Structures are given as structure tokens and as C-alpha cells.
Chain A
Amino acid sequence: DGGITQSPKYLFRKEGQNVTLSCEQNLNHDAMYWYRQDPGQGLRLIYYSQIVNDFQKGDIAEGYSVSREKKESFPLTVTSAQKNPTAFYLCASSRTGEADTQYFGPGTRLTVL
């Protein structure tokens, strides 16, 4: 079955620790995205990548980092510089980075204690 996987579903970390969220897709999509979702707000774009070994900052990239070494994988690191990291993180992919539907993984809920 083709799809997008994110792991883990729930993640707890202590303040000051970096944490990496996994995102893998087997849809052969070129573009991948990371969003953050907070209660009462729309999805906000953190980073996106339209091709392997290339990525761009979204609206709220500060305190986050990504890599795109393989087409299938787009891990997100939440660093200690992110002031308010507790949120629901969603990874998505689309066939290209243009007017194509984005499909989402199940999400990771990160809680920083």
C-alpha cells in the first residue's frame, strides 16, 4: 500500500533537548512538506522540499531543521531554539510542488515538558 508514515505518533521530550520526527513516503512524490498545527489556527508551513538535496524555509522555520537526502524521506528536527515546540506536526507529500494535491501522514504529537 502506498502512503506516508510518521513516527512516533506521540513523543515526549524535556525542554532543551533536540528531537527528530520521521516522515517516509512510498508514493514516488517529488515534493514533501512539514506543517505545524496548533489549536484554533490553520496549518503553518515549516519547511518544504521539491526535490532531493534541496529544501526551502516556510513561514515558521526558526528553531527547526530538515534534510532531504532521499526522495522517500524528509525528517524534521525540532531544536532547543524553538521557543514553543509543543504541537501536532504533520508531514505531507505531493507529486510535484505545484498544483497537486497534498497527502498527509498520520501526524506526530510532540509534548515538551
Chain B
Amino acid sequence: GQNIDQPTEMTATEGAIVQINCTYQTSGFNGLFWYQQHAGEAPTFLSYNVLDGLEEKGRFSSFLSRSKGYSYLLLKELQMKDSASYLCAALDSNYQLIWGAGTKLIIKP
């Protein structure tokens, strides 16, 4: 079956760095997405990786290893507004997104 695993909840301190991991098993693979979702709101796009390696976009970076079925989202210089859920989703061979349950990130002052 197809599956995405990510931690349920993480806590970090304002100004620090946090890494949110995601492992995936899909029928075929056409890339991996990360979205941010604040409570009660819609998911917003953060990143898309299809090749191995690290993609940096300001304070946020995303890494992919296709051979290991693994990705992570790295958030630097954490701000209180980064408190949200972070959703990992893998695109399978039929171009369907398989979603993880999301990681709730709590930022403490």
C-alpha cells in the first residue's frame, strides 16, 4: 500500500532550527511536496522536490533522498508565526498526491 509517515507533533524554541522528517512508500514517484497549514485554514505550498538534494528557499529548506524514500523540511530562525501543521505529500505514478497526517509544530518563546 501507499503510505506517508511523519511525526505527529514537535516543539521548538523561537529563533532555533527544527527538522521535520517524512518517509514515503508509493507506487511510483513523481516528486514530494511540503505544505504549511495554520489551524482552520487552507494548506499553502512551501516546496517541491523531485531530484535528490537540498532546495533552499529563504528560512525554509527541503531535502529529498529518492533511494531512501525520505524527505525533510528544515526551518531556520523560527518565528512564532511558524506555529502550524506541516504536511508532506508524495506524487505517485498516477500523479495522485498521497498525504501524510501532518506534523503540528509548536513554537515556544
Contacts and interface: CB of A to CB of B under 8 A. Distances in A.
A45 B2 CA distance: 14
A65 to B, nearest CB: 20
A97 B101 CA distance: 23
Contacts of B50: 99
A98 interface: yes
A1 B101 CA distance: 31
B100 to A, nearest CB: 5
Contacts of B44: 104
A101 interface: yes
Interface residues of A, number: 19
Interface residues of B, number: 24
Interface of B: 4, 8, 30-31, 33, 40-45, 48, 50, 87, 89, 91, 95-102
Contacts of B43: 43, 90, 104
Given A43-B87, A106-B42, A107-B41, A101 B99 contact: no
Interface string A74-111: 00000000000000001000000111011111110100
